[in-house]
């Protein structure tokens, strides 16, 4: 059926919303090159990563990205298929997410981590759904960094209405990812895609609100990501959105990218705490590393991104979490150039859709021995034995379409894991093993996970 239509893939996604597992099984059964549609191939080879997505790749974004429009003046950065136009517009986003900008955002993140720690401390001895709390934190950070708006989910212990609508849309996207033309049709039919119209209106209102603040401000120094786009518009920079609709689409992208950066960060944090709870010796080793780096009673301001990025075991835990549970498990589609593309011994015809699924590649025993096992040491003293192909690790994608928010996501993961590990001991809540959390993760374009009930206790040293 795959040779005729992509609907079979959508049916797979609808049945259990675990297309990443379906792909893994197909590759196990049929090999490294699997036809998943009339002109689509899934590839389980590290060599395909750079050839399809690297800086020098001749591949482009396929029509999957055109479900809004193919007019570059009406679409977001992410939906811009022209490599040249994408390169120009990406510059403003790169400035907003740059290492230079991170120190502006870090105090806001530190404050939110303080609130998270305080909320956990007030619930010691009670089963706590860490998934829920890391998601609250992730979206609060997205609002503060993206728009200087605080959703206050952590303080209120409740999901903001706009975020709830966004989660509904991402479930639809995950199911219909294999058949993007259906998204285009449904998008034009009122009422068929839930609260999508309300979500679009919310995004447009936030853009208008922030634009008015920017124009009224005497200072033109950006303090959030959307302000970098306004600055580019004011300066008539080539990186500016090429029109009002493109700006509104970028605003929507900022929230969705925030969802992809921060929601996936929230999910990654939940996954990290699952692995750390399942492997208590790893957690104790992490606590020892943190104790050696920061004396008891250290100011929390000293536990910052610059200091934490120097801790090898913390970095290894983050890498191993992202290897086993990558943000976009079934990969992002690319289109081969008209002249075709040679990948190892296989020639792929031109204008073919190719996907390199991270979940499949990053768990392959040929590239990572004991690929399904959580072993942080594989990134340290066991690297020679347990990392056979570093090119098979690409959790943030590569090249011109790589994740613009990578450094912000890593900063968030470092701060949250470190602060919680210093403050608390953790275990599964009574009657819980975490197996359902691990087994039932959904592929809704990005990973979606269920509740993870943990028991937090004050640190015993």
Q: Which helix (H) or strand (E) holds 446?
A: strand 446-448
Q: CA-based angle 409:325:174, to the nearest 5? A: 90
Contact of 357 with 44, CB cutoff 8 Å: yes
C-alpha to C-alpha distances, 369 to 111, 145, 330, 373, nearest whole angstrom = 40, 38, 21, 9
CA distance 170 to 441: 14
Q: CA-based angle 271:274:276, to the nearest 5? A: 110
Nearest to 385 by CA among 397, 396, 369, 362: 369
Look up residue 398 and give its two tokens.
């590569």
Dihedral through CA 367, CA 308, CA 96, CA 226, nearest 10?
110
Look up residue 421 and give its two tokens.
């590990």
C-alpha to C-alpha distances, 458 to 282, 337, 377, nearest whole angstrom = 18, 57, 27
C-alpha to C-alpha distances, 85 to 72, 81, 109, 226, nearest whole angstrom = 8, 8, 32, 19
The response to whether 403 counts as a known ligand-binding position is yes
CA distance 337 to 348: 10
Q: Which residues contact 90 (CB under 8 A, 6 or more apart)?
A: 77, 239, 400, 404
Beta bridge partners of 42: 34, 355
Give the residue ranges of the annotated binding site for heme: 403
Residues in binding site:
403
């Amino acid at each position: 059926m795959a040779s005729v239509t992509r609907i079979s893939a959508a049916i797979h996604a609808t049945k259990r919303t675990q297309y990443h597992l379906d792909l893994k099984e197909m590759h196990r059964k049929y090999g490294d090159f699997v036809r998943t549609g009339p002109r689509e191939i899934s590839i389980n080879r590290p060599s395909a990563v750079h050839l399809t997505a690297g800086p020098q790749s001749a591949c482009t974004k396929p029509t999957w990205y055109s479900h809004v429009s193919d007019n570059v003046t009406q679409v977001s950065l992410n939906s811009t298929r022209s490599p040249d136009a994408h390169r120009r517009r990406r510059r403003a986003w790169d400035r907003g997410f740059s290492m230079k900008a991170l120190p502006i955002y870090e105090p806001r993140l530190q404050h939110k981590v303080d609130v998270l720690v305080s909320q956990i401390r007030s619930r010691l001895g009670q089963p706590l759904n860490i998934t829920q709390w890391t998601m609250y934190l992730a979206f609060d950070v997205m609002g503060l960094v993206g728009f200087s708006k605080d959703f206050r989910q952590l303080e209120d212990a409740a999901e903001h209405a706009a975020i709830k609508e966004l989660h509904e849309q991402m479930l639809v996207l995950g199911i219909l990812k294999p058949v993007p033309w259906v998204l285009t049709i449904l998008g034009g039919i009122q009422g068929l895609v839930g609260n999508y119209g309300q979500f679009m209106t919310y995004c447009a209102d936030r853009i208008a609100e922030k634009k008015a603040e920017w124009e009224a401000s005497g200072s033109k120094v950006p303090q959030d990501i959307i302000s970098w786009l306004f600055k580019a518009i004011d300066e008539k920079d080539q990186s500016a959105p090429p029109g009002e609709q493109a700006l509104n689409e970028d605003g929507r992208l900022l929230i969705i990218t925030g969802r992809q950066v921060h929601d996936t960060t929230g999910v990654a944090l939940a996954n990290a705490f699952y692995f750390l709870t399942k492997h208590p010796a790893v957690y104790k080793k992490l606590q020892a590393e943190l104790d050696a780096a920061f004396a008891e009673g250290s100011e929390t301001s000293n536990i910052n991104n610059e200091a934490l990025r120097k801790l090898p075991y913390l970095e290894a835990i983050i890498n191993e979490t992202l290897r086993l549970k990558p943000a976009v498990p079934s990969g992002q589609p690319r289109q081969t150039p008209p002249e075709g593309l040679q990948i190892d011994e296989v020639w792929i015809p031109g204008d073919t859709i190719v996907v390199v699924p991270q979940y499949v590649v990053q768990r392959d025993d040929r590239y990572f021995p004991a690929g399904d096992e959580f072993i942080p040491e594989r990134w340290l003293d066991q690297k020679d034995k347990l990392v056979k192909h570093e090119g098979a690790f690409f959790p943030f994608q590569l090249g011109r379409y790589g994740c613009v928010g990578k450094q912000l996501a890593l900063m968030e993961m470092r701060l949250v894991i470190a602060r919680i590990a210093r403050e608390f001991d953790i275990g599964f809540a009574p009657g819980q093993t975490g197996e359902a959390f691990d087994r039932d993760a959904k592929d809704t374009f990005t990973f979606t996970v269920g509740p993870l009930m943990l028991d937090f206790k004050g640190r015993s040293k």
